[in-house]
């Protein structure tokens, strides 16, 4: 693997740095990584968190799996190798958003623990918050908002997480949600409480 030096690349530090941006925002930058099965509620909870933080003056950005795959990662499929590259790329983007002093909320199935661990390792301690949006497969399949499980069961979608492809649940996430027992708003409150405890956003 070639290095940045091999390719004659040098990291450029800008005059307005992360500290300046965080002081302007009155909160820290951080990556909040929502992971879980399709239909578990990742995007819904991320939306609630964003809405509630925005009302408090916190600058947020949502990076959603389907949206990113329509642009930045439109060239990637769903093989294990493509899934790994999908998460590597978005991990790099998330690191940049964190450096801009933004609380970025990522909603990706991100099925492999190795990929999530590498995304965490890209950032400094305390900048990466893993949120496991946990729900039994039967409930996720019952919800099936996009009709994907039905297609997967019919063999129309190969390599579908939870059916014909594995999902490796986080062992020690910063936040563990149970969206079959909590409302989206209740889940969002738990996430924001953790962000307050970590000093990422100020308390009310």
Count CA within 13 A, CB hemisphere, residue 24: 10
CA–CA dist 184, 50 (Å, integer):
12
Q: Which residues fall within 8 angstroms of residue 137, CB to CB, at 6 or more apart?
A: 37, 162
**CA 112/CA 167 separation, integer angstroms:** 6
As a whole number of angstroms, the distance between CA 3 and CA 121 comes to 18
Tokens found for residue 1: 């693997």
Does the annotation mark 110 as catalytic? yes
As a whole number of angstroms, the distance between CA 168 and CA 110 comes to 9
**Pair of tokens at residue 17:** 């740095």
Taking CA atoms, 60 is separated from 50, 100, 109, 145, in Å, by 6, 11, 20, 25
- How far is 187 from 83, CA to CA, in rounded Å? 27
Among 38, 43, 50, 110, the active-site one is: 110
How many Å apart are CA 135 and CA 174, to the nearest integer?
Answer: 17
Catalytic residues: 110
């Amino acid at each position: 693997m070639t290095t940045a030096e091999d390719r004659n690349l040098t990291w450029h530090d800008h005059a307005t740095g992360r500290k300046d941006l965080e002081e302007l925002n009155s909160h820290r930058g951080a990556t909040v990584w929502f992971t879980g099965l399709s239909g578990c509620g990742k995007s819904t909870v991320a939306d609630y968190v964003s809405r509630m933080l925005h009302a408090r003056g916190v600058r947020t950005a949502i990076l959603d799996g389907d949206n990113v795959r329509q642009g930045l990662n439109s060239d990637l499929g769903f093989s294990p190798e493509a899934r790994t590259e999908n998460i590597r790329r978005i991990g790099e983007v998330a690191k940049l958003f964190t450096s801009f002093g933004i609380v970025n909320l990522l909603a990706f199935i991100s099925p492999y623990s190795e990929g999530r661990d590498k995304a965490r390792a890209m950032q400094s301690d305390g900048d990466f918050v893993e949120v496991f949006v946990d729900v039994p497969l039967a409930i996720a399949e019952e919800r099936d908002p996009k009709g994907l499980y039905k297609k997967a069961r019919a063999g129309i979608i190969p390599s579908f997480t939870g059916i014909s492809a594995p999902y490796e649940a986080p062992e020690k996430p910063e936040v563990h949600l149970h969206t079959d027992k909590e409302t989206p708003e209740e889940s969002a409150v738990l996430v924001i409480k953790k962000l307050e405890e970590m000093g990422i956003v100020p308390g009310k």
